[in-house]
Every structure is written in structure tokens, then in C-alpha cells.
Structure 1
Amino acid sequence: MVPETPKNTAAPLLPDRYPQLDLFICDVSDAILKDVMQHMEHPFYSLSKKPETRIRKYEHNGNRLEITPSVKGLATIYDKDILIYCISQIMAKLRRGEKVSRRVRINSHELLVFTNRGTAGKDYAALSEAIDRLAGTRISTNIRTGDEEQYDNFGLIDAASVRRKNGFDGRLLWCEVKISDWVFNAIRHNEVLTLHPDYFRLRKPLERRVYELARKHCGQQPEWKVSFPILLKKTGSQSQMKKFKQMLKGLEENNHLPDYEVSLEGNNVVFINRNTLSKKREVVTDSGALVLQEKTLETARKVAPGYDIYALKQEWLNHWTASGKPELKSVDAAFVGFCKFRATNSPIF
């Protein structure tokens, strides 16, 4: 059931501008959005729509993060759309068995459509400004990607080449960005999660950030409970607690957060899994579903680092079906063996 929209207020979600996404868009025709887990768990990005030029520091459970802006301001959670596009592109290529690198070519029109933005002149200008902020924002952290800690200073993107129509002030046609070793290392170790397509339809920066945290911490568990102070800290929001609670109350009333329901209980926020994640990823055959244990997926990630495990799961099922659906003594062992074979015979790095 779709929740009723209060009178005289905007709809909770932005309209879906491109309900029938062109097949060529972003080489990700099924619009599988991917983000690295570290960007979802920790507040790397500004939630302010105004330029934020002060150095920000964050520490939680031993994870330290210092973010230094350029004169143009900190990279924002909307600027992050560019990296989500890049990560999604790389993961799509890995699923197809193609070689990948830190350099990603971006067609600006495709990016705007992929992220559910408009395609007017101001939208191209905003995209150009976002690239500048991403390139100018510097990170110093001890947060691991893969098996590495990185204490030195690095950027969210290391470089960007831009092609414009009609000179320096012309419309951005395409660009090529070089993502940082830190982000690429997270991709290489398959430290990524899938985002709901409606992520780009969330109107408010804080709503996006809350969804990221729910997706990272609740995942496919039935629920995740967190206190107001901890959730506020992890969002990186500069809002006062009263305003923060009002925003969460809106999420609870409108019930529009993708994948999760929000319930406020005393001094805690409870995120309840809608079970849409498992429905999207369930592998079904004519004879029913082949169910893998969660620990099997973790083992598969270790024997096939860098691969999209859910894509491998589908490939394995297709192979099993094409082989006449032979009886499997152990579904879990068969899947892990398949992943090990693919990683050994078709390495992607």
C-alpha cells in the first residue's frame, strides 16, 4: 500500500524521471547501484547544500576520519552520485568478466539519467562543480579497505579529465575520473553493497545518509536498533537533536525509506527489514529455490575476491540448469567450489 501524501506538501520521494531506463545507459541496464561499505558506514560527505569549508573530524569505535575541503567546499552526498556511478560501472564489468581499472569514462548525459537528475544546463553545471569538490576533498583515515589501513592523505578521486562543448564555459560532454586506490581496493575486495534504485529519489541529504546506515548495519537482518545520539553521530549531520528527531519522525510517518521501515521506540530508532532485498536477490528455479547459508556467501567472497557474489550465484545456477539439474550432495559446497574454480581460471585482477 502506498502511503497517503499529506495535503499541501511535496511527495516523500522525487518523481522517477526515467521509468524506462534506456538499455545503453551506464552499461548497467538493470540499474544495479553499488557503493563501497566504508562510504556507507562513516560520514565522508557533507550533508549541507551550502559550501562547507571547515575541516571535519570523526572518530567512532577506533575508526578515525579527517576530511579537508578545498576552497570550493567539501564533497557532498549528492556529489557522491558520481562515485556510485563509477563503482556500479566497475562492478557491472566484473560481472561480465571484463578487465577494469581505476579510470572510468563518464558520459554526462548518461550519468544524469542514471542518477534521476534533470538534463538542463544547470544540471550539467552542477555536475562539473561536483567533480571539482570530489577532486579537492582530501581524506586521512585509519579505516581499512581490504587488508590495508591508509593513514596518508588521499582524494576521493585522484584525477579528472573533462571534455566540454564550446570551450571552458561550455556544457560538460564527458569526463574521465581516476578513483583513488583506497576506493578501488574496497571494490577489489568486494566490499560493496547494492543500493535500492529509489536511493536517488530521496529528497533530503539526511534521508540518503540514514538509508546508507540502515543498509550497512541492518542489511538482510530482520531489524537493527540504534540510539538517537549514535545515529546522529554516524550520519555526520550538524543538526540539533530536536530537528534530527523530526526528520526521523517524517520517515516513520511517510514510510518511504527504501528497503526498511523506521520505528521510533523511546530513545532508539529501529529499522525493520521489508524483505525486499532477499526478494530481489532470490535465485529461483522451476523446482524451487536453491538456498545458500549466509556463511557460505562469506566463504565464497573469500575464495573469489573482487567478484560480485550474487552474479556468481546466478551464473552457477545457470550452469547447473544447463547441466540438467543434477542432484547436489551439498548445495553450499557446490557453490563454493564453483566460485573457487571461477577465481582460479578467470582472474579479474
Structure 2
Amino acid sequence: MCEVTIDRSPLLPDRHPQKDLFVCDIVDAVPKGDMSSMEHPVFSLSTKPDMRPRKYERGGNWIAISPSSHGLATVHDRDVLIYCISQCMAALNEGRKVLRTMRFKAYDLLVATNRQTSGRGYELLKDALRRLQGTQIETNLRQGGKEYFKVFGLIDSAEIVKETRDGRMLDVEITLSDWVFDAIENNHVLTLNRKYFFLRKPLERRLYELARKHCGTQPRWLIGLDTLRDKCGSGSTEKEFRRLIGKIIEDDEAHGHMPDYVFSIENDNVVVRPKKKEVIPPLPSSTLCFKDEDATYARAKRHAPGWDIRGLEGEWREWVRKKSIPIQNPDANFLSFCKARGPYK
């Protein structure tokens, strides 16, 4: 008798292929992650309660993460923060004020992050909120120009404002920690591919975060396996970690499921390269011409002291091009972009 092998996709299914029109604007906010937690192993890779305190040190910087009785916040719990950061950045880009305390529909978050909207999905969200509030961090890392020597949580508090009779949350109110909110206010965030929410394995998500943070649009980024294991916060042995990375590479070769980047192992290093990007038609150059270039550059330097203004201009033009944003006043739009960056840290 022939054995039938089922080649399961490494991606999670699209749980919400036809989204409610009323939540499309909220769901379509561009996913954003804060740079510090993309750089450092803040979140656990475990799918079971992780009670291991950890400390990561590199280049004079250190970060210590301690679990609550519910365990450390996980990579999948990070979805909540990504959603909150994304909503805040979308509001700022539209000129609206944002506050550390925000209220939203639980359903919107679940749909935006490709989570279940069943009763089980709401219970998992409650668990995530418990771990995010309970996980304690102490660090000397700079975030938004501030240096912390105190213990704090990823969120200060979470409250279920309304709840239906069958136990499903309707409204959720979250107060973000100063650490996360400083990243929002100082635009220390990076855009994530929406396919991030479809990655099944926590290690895949962590690899993507690190690639996005360190490789970006560079042609190549190389990191030693031991260093990568530390930055992932993995508790695996060196041999097992190499096997796990090799399996992800093998799956990506078969399915092409990893967003934006391709990974390979060369000797004892992991090499990251961007995948071929979609070609986006450029906007007419005339739409991005400054009316008074000298005056605009002078004001930009005051808004973003310490930055390479020409470099910021290139980033701004690339951002406008990728978004296909119609610009009515290039000078004012560029100055707003520089103001969001603030002083170079």
C-alpha cells in the first residue's frame, strides 16, 4: 500500500479572506514594530509557558526580561503591540493626536493579525494581555532618546471594557508602557510585511524581525549562528538551532513562504539577502520638487538636527514612491517627515 504524504504549507491559513467593509480601514493600517524589541530577544519563542528569566548583553547594552506567573510574553503576543503601534502611526500620519491609553474593538485586532475570532481566539487574546502586562523588563537601552534604569512592563494595563454574555470581548482598553510609546512618538518603528501574521513558527517570525531590522534593503547581512541564537532568545543547543534554521531554509526553498528575505547557512554563519522586490512605478519627479530648496533644507536641519538631510530626503522620496502618496505641498510634507525623526540619537 502506497503511503500518502501531505505537504502542509508552513504558513497559517488566511482566516479572514473577506473582511468586513466597516473594519477595512482599521485592518489595513500598515503593520509596524518598534526597533528595540526587534533588535533584542524580548519575546519568548516557546508556545508553552516560559518561566525562564533571561539577560542579553551586547556592546555595553543589556536587557533583562523576567516572567510573571503566566510566563514571558511570546512572539505571538507581540501581535497586540504591533497592532497598537500600527494604529498610532496611522493616526500620526493623518495628523491626529495619539495617547498612551487606547481603546479598540477586539474583533478588529483579531482580524488584522490573522487570529481566530472564535471564543478560543478571545481567550488567547486575554492570555496575551496577561503576559504582556506581567512580563517585566529592566534595561539601559535607549528608546526615543531616553535611557531606562527601571523595571517596567510591555503594557501598563489592559481592561476589557465590554464583554458579551458568551464571554467574548467587545472593547479592549490598553495603556502602553512609556518604552513602547516613546518609540511611537519618535518614529523608532519599522514597517513589517503583512505576511508576518501568517508565519506559523515563532522562530520564523523572529528571523524576519531581525532581517527587517539589520538587513533592510542592503544586499546582504551576515550573522554568526551563535550570535543569532542569542538574539533570537533560543534555548536550543547549537546543533538543534542549526537544524531548526536549516528546516526553515528548506521550507522556504520549497514554498517561498518567508516574506521579503531569503536565508542561507554558510559555514557557521547565516546570510540574509532581500528577495526580489515588486517593481513600483515611480511618481513623476515634478510632483516632489521643492519650491524653495535652500529654505526647506535649512528648516529640515532645525527639525532633525544631527541627521544627514540629503539622506532623509532620499528616505522620504522612497516612502512617498512606495506609498504612491499624492503630494500637494512637497516642502511641508518633507518637513513633517523630518520633524517626526527629531534629533539624531
Global fold match (TM > 0.5): yes
- Specify whether residues 338 and 125 from structure 1 end up closer, same or farther in structure 2 by C-alpha distance, changes over 3 A only: closer
Secondary structure of 2:334 counterpart: helix
- Structure-to-structure mapping, 1:20-99, within 5 angstroms: 20-25=18-23, 27-99=25-97
1:54 is displaced (CA, Å) by: 3.1
- Specify whether residues 341 and 262 from structure 1 end up closer, same or farther in structure 2 by C-alpha distance, changes over 3 A only: closer
The 1-side partners of 2:224 and 2:287 are apart by 37
The 2-side partners of 1:289 and 1:232 are apart by 46
The 1-side partners of 2:144 and 2:53 are apart by 26
1:340 is displaced (CA, Å) by: 2.2
Secondary structure of 1:91 counterpart: helix
Asked if 1:340 corresponds to 2:335, the answer is yes
Q: Which residue of 2 is the match for residue 210 of structure 1? A: 207
1:242 is displaced (CA, Å) by: 1.9
Q: 2:225 aligns with which of 223, 228, 246?
A: 228
Q: 2:198 aligns with which of 201, 208, 222?
A: 201
Q: Which residue of 2 is the match for residue 146 of structure 1? A: 144
Say whether the 8 Å CA contact 1:46–1:75 is kept in structure 2.
yes
The 2-side partners of 1:231 and 1:36 are apart by 19
1:247 is displaced (CA, Å) by: 1.9
Secondary structure of 1:59 counterpart: strand
Say whether the 8 Å CA contact 1:316–1:338 is kept in structure 2.
no
Q: 2:304 aligns with which of 294, 302, 305?
A: 302
The 2-side partners of 1:92 and 1:283 are apart by 23
Q: Which residue of 2 is the match for residue 136 of structure 1? A: 134
Q: Which residue of 1 is the match for residue 267 of structure 2? A: 266
TM-score calculated relative to the size of structure 2: 0.81
Q: Which residue of 2 is the match for residue 251 of structure 1? A: 248
State the AA in 2 paired with 1:32: V
- Specify whether residues 221 and 343 from structure 1 end up closer, same or farther in structure 2 by C-alpha distance, changes over 3 A only: closer
Q: Which residue of 2 is the match for residue 329 of structure 1? A: none
1:263 is displaced (CA, Å) by: 1.2
Q: Percent identity?
A: 45
State the AA in 2 paired with 1:101: L
Say whether the 8 Å CA contact 2:156–2:175 is kept in structure 1.
yes
Q: 2:120 aligns with which of 107, 122, 125?
A: 122
1:133 is displaced (CA, Å) by: 0.9
The 1-side partners of 2:163 and 2:56 are apart by 40
1:41 is displaced (CA, Å) by: 0.6
Secondary structure of 2:28 counterpart: coil
Secondary structure of 2:95 counterpart: coil
Number of residues of Structure 1 aligned to a counterpart in Structure 2 = 316
State the AA in 1 paired with 2:259: P
Secondary structure of 1:285 counterpart: coil
1:67 is displaced (CA, Å) by: 1.1
TM-score calculated relative to the size of structure 1: 0.81
State the AA in 2 paired with 1:165: E
1:222 is displaced (CA, Å) by: 0.9
Say whether the 8 Å CA contact 1:102–1:180 is kept in structure 2.
yes
Q: Which residue of 2 is the match for residue 318 of structure 1? A: 326
Q: Which residue of 2 is the match for residue 181 of structure 1? A: 178
Secondary structure of 2:10 counterpart: coil
1:143 is displaced (CA, Å) by: 0.9
The 2-side partners of 1:89 and 1:69 are apart by 27
Say whether the 8 Å CA contact 1:300–1:309 is kept in structure 2.
no
1:289-317 CA deviation, whole Å, 9 max, x = no partner?
A: 979xxxx9x979937x9xx9579736996
- Specify whether residues 310 and 134 from structure 1 end up closer, same or farther in structure 2 by C-alpha distance, changes over 3 A only: farther
Extract unaligned runs of 5+ from structure 1.
1-5, 324-333
1:60-98 CA deviation, whole Å, 9 max, x = no partner?
A: 222211112111111111111100000000011011111
Q: 1:219 aligns with which of 210, 216, 219?
A: 216
Q: Which residue of 2 is the match for residue 3 of structure 1? A: none
Say whether the 8 Å CA contact 2:26–2:108 is kept in structure 1.
no
Say whether the 8 Å CA contact 1:217–1:224 is kept in structure 2.
yes
Secondary structure of 2:116 counterpart: coil
1:165 is displaced (CA, Å) by: 2.7
Asked if 1:11 corresponds to 2:9, the answer is yes
1:10 is displaced (CA, Å) by: 2.0
1:166 is displaced (CA, Å) by: 4.9
1:123-164 CA deviation, whole Å, 9 max, x = no partner?
A: 110101111111111110011112111111111001112134
- Specify whether residues 97 and 176 from structure 1 end up closer, same or farther in structure 2 by C-alpha distance, changes over 3 A only: same
Say whether the 8 Å CA contact 1:190–1:301 is kept in structure 2.
no
Say whether the 8 Å CA contact 2:66–2:72 is kept in structure 1.
yes
Say whether the 8 Å CA contact 1:301–1:309 is kept in structure 2.
no
Q: Which residue of 2 is the match for residue 172 of structure 1? A: 169
The 2-side partners of 1:65 and 1:163 are apart by 33
- Specify whether residues 245 and 166 from structure 1 end up closer, same or farther in structure 2 by C-alpha distance, changes over 3 A only: same
